[in-house]
Amino acid sequence: MSLLEIKNVDISYGKNLTVKNCSLNLEKGEICSIVGESGSGKTTVIRAVMGLLPGAGRVSAGDITYDGIDLLKLTHKEWRKLRGHDVSMIFQDSGAMMNQTRLIGDSYVEYIMTHEDISRKDAWAKGVEMIERMRLPDGDRVMRSYPFQLSGGQRQRVGIAMGMTYQPKLLLADEPTSALDVTTQAQIVRQFMELRDEYGTSIIIVTHNLGVAAYMGDKIVVMKRGEVVDQGEREYILHQSTNPYTKLLLDAVPTLGGKRYV
């Protein structure tokens, strides 16, 4: 059984159909990269998996199954139990998702204490430990900082630390490197790969960067205008696919000395 199965899913906002007949499978320990232009439905798909479609968004057809669980039938209480423990999400700018007027430690401790019966002191220590695991030195200082006092790369590492607190089986990453400089992007990408290797975490990463998609993904899914137009193993997508849109995306990657580094 696949860890995650999205089968013939339609997603609508009100009467407007935005994602049509989307299907993909993710195995345990596998990384799937979803690529495509802005507005193609990439983020909408992973938000549907997480049960976090905004506003009037809803899955209007199809099935989403996680580890044998029908996600579309979960109650609010069941979702609270699943999110954070089994399934976590990292956003494009994790710092922007935090309350700018609260210390990072206060938000992190509240998150931990929501998911387990633990004292504030122990929750703080757990937060410090996770932050330092993500290669941020002096975790206590980070916990005592406000989000705006950290760099983009530091905020992303805090987001990854929070997302990995309970070693989830599935991690959803929504363009986690797009707001970062190239050097920091490379560091964050390597950290994602280490998470998969160390914890066996399955990852779906949404990205515009085909280099990131190719480096990380065991498989690549290509979306256009709310539909999956191509998908397959990395080598197939990069070197064998005949889909014209996939070819167009690959042709858009800059070349250096006549060679395309993707």
List pLDDT tens digits, range 209-244. Answer: 888 899 999 999 999 999 999 999 999 999 999 999
The pTM score is 0.89
All structural domains of the chain with their residue ranges? 4-260
pLDDT band at 260 (very low <50, low <70, confident <90, very high): low
Asked whether the predicted pLDDT for residue 262 surpasses 70, the reply is no
Rounded to 10°, the helix 104-115/152-163 angle is 10
Task: Specify the CATH class of 4-260 in words.
Answer: alpha beta
Selection from 188, 179, 174, 110 nearest residue 143 by Cα: 110
Mean pLDDT of 63-84: 93
pLDDT at res. 252? 82
3-state secondary structure of 219: strand
Asked whether the predicted pLDDT for residue 259 surpasses 70, the reply is no
Who's near 65: CB < 8 A, 6+ residues apart?
2, 4, 5, 7, 71
Q: What's the rounded Cα separation, in Å, for the pair 5 and 160?
A: 24
CA 116, 119, 124, 126 torsion-angle sign = negative
Radius of gyration (Cα) for the chain, nearest Å? 19
Tens digits of residue pLDDT in 126-169: 999 999 988 888 999 999 999 999 988 888 889 888 988 888 99
φ/ψ region of 100 (left if φ > 0, alpha if ψ in -120 to 50, else beta) reads: alpha
